[in-house]
Chain A
Amino acid sequence: MSDSSRVRPGSTLEIRDLQVAVEDKEILRGVNLTVRAGETHAIMGPNGSGKSTLAYAIAGHPKYTVTGGQVLLDGADLLDMSVDERARAGLFLAMQYPVEVPGVSVSNFLRSAVTSVRGEAPKLREFAKDLKAGMDALSIDAAFAQRNLNEGFSGGEKKRHEILQLELLKPKIAVLDETDSGLDVDALRVVSEGINRFRSSGETGVLLITHYTRILRYVKPDFVHVFAGGRIVEQGGPELADKLEAEGYESYTKATA
């Protein structure tokens, strides 16, 4: 429920009793979660618990069928929108496994995406400058702009490239699905700095899916949710992450089995 006494600039993502199936198999069993501007929520949970399913369902991947519930961005139901409408409404999903798209260059792709999201083509020179600055900040070699989208990128390069898109597209709410996995320490730091730049305005919300507390040392969450068996089974502050690191998910997976 909105709390009118603390109105802040920025957006709110509300996930209400979300139920999702994949190929007739029920995966999400009623997820409730609200992400407000300025907040960072971490979702942690064992493999196969449905974290990516949550991310994809919010973004509108055609393989995931919403069987119940709502996902509201500033009150508008994202579930009524096409995938691209959701993105233009201000949602961003950094994917766990970014796909390779042959023949589409990074620069062409980014320019198309920025044009679509902003509703007008950016001035070429400005765009080139923004792109260069964004790539520099993430230690991405300039040559990547001419390469085909994600084609032959290493795991870490793909993830950095996801964050580059995040910074260029400036969404209201970002869902980051295991952006930290497969990154070495340096890359993790670079990527975390990118996420922190994105949230520094205080007007954006972040839903960060991860297995490890490692990234949470760089990107401090306000809330930590434990995900198991297709729903959130416990919530807490940053200290919950440390508990998970020490004890694992066993107690939760047993409970939901």
Chain B
Amino acid sequence: MGLETKPLSTLHDKASYDVADFPVPTGREEEWRFTPLSRLKGLHTGAAASGGVAVQVDAAPEAVVETVGRDDQRLGRAYVPADRVSAQAYAAFEKAVVVTVPREAVASKPTVITVTGTGEGAAYGHTLVKLEPMAEAVVVLEHQGSAVYADNVEFVVGEGATLKVVSLQDWADDAVHVSHHHALLGKDATFRSFVVTLGGDLVRLSPSVSYEGPGGDADLTGLYFVDAGQHLEHRLLVDHSTPNCRSNVVYKGALQGEDAHAVWIGDVIIRVEAEGTDTYELNRNLLLTDGARADSVPNLEILTGEVAGAGHASASGRLDDEHIFYLQARGIPFEDARRLVIRGFFAQLLEKIELDELRERVFAKVEAELEK
């Protein structure tokens, strides 16, 4: 399996609310080495906020939605920024959206938070989604338009609660988005994250999960389609620090065109205390043309001898000629055969989106990417 024996600190070494605790990245740091810093448009060097996004919330009637100031005591409790841009976002956001789903409430429809870039310069944001014990909800984060945007999203999933999140990065071609999604799972909580990243010049999204009690169950799924010139980066971190929790990470992407660049980092830590952990992570990249590049780095650090299961896999490759041949041999023209096989590559992931309307929409967007 090729276990990494690096010290823990390289996976998750720093956390601070203070931007000054993080030096400006140079690109040589492990956590920044894949990211083209010059295209961050100053998000890592403290670009001033000029309010370049509009945030809109369409909430389930069972959910309580508030827009709060920086001093709201509930913010920043689940997550402490882990890098420079995240700390910058935390230091610079003006208003935060807080969505609360009360104890035992079952949201009757998805809560949709739409972030629309207005093309007016840098913006910083903060979102907190809190499910009280035994609550159930679906939250959709939609990102669109032209923006230079950094934000932190906290998901606090209470005991026995179930939160399903879909985050759609459907930005305009010139957008830059650096985002942290952190989920803190209570005892027996269930968290489902589905990330779809299609648009933007540079998107760097870091979903992470930690557990407060046993029985937490996190499923992180991602789908991306990288076109010429795009840099789409996903950095996963699952930190198992309590016994008997589960995590499953599956990210799949397709790349086409010159300088299409995908980065996937999958860090999983199983700490000494986390006996009975069951974890698996997978990343697959489909390189559809020359000139596209996928970097895929799974890191699994196991510090206890008592795991229920731990594995990772990563593979990047081209479309399989034998698949295409088989379909063509049945009369299906090359382009259609290619589309069927690529759709097949994503099919099992797409089925995980339980909302029909949303699944169809994501499906249509993937289809549209294929037509390009």
Contacts and interface: CB of A to CB of B under 8 A. Distances in A.
Contact of A109 (B320, B321, B330, B347): B330
A202 interface: no
Interface residues of A, number: 30
A200 B352 CA distance: 46
Contact of B325 (A61, A113, A117, A148): A61
Interface string A101-126: 11110001100110011000000000
Interface string A86-108: 11100011010011011110001
Contact of A88 (B331, B340, B346): B331
Nearest to B323: A101
Interface in B311-351: 320-323, 325-334, 336-337, 340-341, 343-348
Interface string B164-201: 00000000000000000000000000000000000000
A60 B343 CA distance: 24
A215 B327 CA distance: 27
B344 A148 contact: yes
Contact of B331 (A99, A108, A117): A117
A83 B340 contact: no
B344 to A, nearest CB: 3
Interface string B216-245: 000000000000000000000000000000
A103 B343 contact: yes
Nearest to B333: A84
A82 interface: yes
A59 interface: yes
Contacts of B348: 102-103
Nearest to B337: A84
B344 A116 contact: no
B336 A112 contact: yes
Given A101-B341, A102-B345, A103-B346, A113 B326 contact: no
A165 B344 contact: no
The dominant DSSP class at the B interface is: helix
Contact of A87 (B320, B323, B328): B328
Nearest to B325: A61
Given A61-B325, A83-B325, A99-B323, A116 B330 contact: yes
Given A101-B341, A103-B343, A104-B343, A95 B328 contact: no
Contacts of A109: 327, 330, 340
Given A83-B325, A95-B326, A98-B326, A169 B340 contact: no
Contact of B326 (A88, A99, A103): A99
B331 A103 contact: no
B367 to A, nearest CB: 14
A62 interface: yes
Nearest to A91: B329
A165 B332 CA distance: 13
A238 to B, nearest CB: 29
A169 B343 CA distance: 23
Contacts of A108: 340
Contacts of B346: 103
Contact of A112 (B320, B321, B340, B347): B340
Contacts of A113: 327, 330-332
A234 to B, nearest CB: 30
Contacts of A86: 329
B344 A104 contact: yes
A82 B334 CA distance: 9
Contacts of B328: 60, 82-84, 87
A59 B326 contact: no
Contacts of A92: 329
A193 B344 CA distance: 32
Contacts of A59: 329
16 contacts: A59-B329, A60-B328, A83-B325, A83-B328, A84-B332, A93-B329, A101-B323, A102-B345, A102-B348, A103-B344, A104-B341, A104-B343, A104-B344, A104-B347, A112-B330, A113-B332
Interface of A: 59-63, 82-84, 86-88, 92-93, 95, 98-99, 101-104, 108-109, 112-113, 116-117, 148-149, 165, 169
Give the 8 A-B residue pairs with the shortest CB-CB distance, closest first. A103-B344, A103-B347, A113-B330, A87-B331, A83-B328, A116-B331, A117-B331, A104-B344
Given A83-B328, A101-B341, A169-B330, 11 more contacts: A87-B328, A99-B320, A102-B345, A104-B340, A104-B343, A104-B347, A109-B330, A112-B327, A112-B332, A112-B340, A169-B331
